[in-house]
Amino acid sequence: DGGITQSPKYLFRKEGQNVTLSCEQNLNHDAMYWYRQDPGQGLRLIYYSQIVNDFQKGDIAEGYSVSREKKESFPLTVTSAQKNPTAFYLCASSRQQGDEQYFGPGTRLTVT
């Protein structure tokens, strides 16, 4: 929605494997964000990027990594070090830091 795409919608992986979730936006937004949502809970910030080639850790960055090589792309890698990776992952972007955020449709990751 709003020019942000996430793929795939559902993703299944075996424990011990790294997996990369994609996030692309065509809104020309500078800032991008990754959140994790667990059932019945709010959104927790994993990583965010305010500009290309720069990103900061959020509140729960352990076991995750990101890159921001292009303005429109902000992929998230869930590594095998993440102890409880099964969750709903949401990517968002905003024109600038502090502005309203536009969310993608999310990727539901299941690790067994």
Mask for 17-36, x = binds other proteins (CB under 8 A): --------------x-x-x-
**Closest distance to other proteins from the beta carbon of 47 (Å):** 11
By CB under 8 A, residue 42 contacts other proteins: yes
Nearer to other proteins by Cβ, of 35 and 64: the residue is 35
Residue (of 86, 66, 64) closest to 23 by Cα position: 66
Q: What is the separation of C-alpha 76 from the centre of its chain, rounded to a whole number of angstroms?
A: 5
By CB under 8 A, residue 46 contacts other proteins: no
Q: What is d(CA 72, CA 56) in angstroms, rounded to the nearest whole number?
A: 17
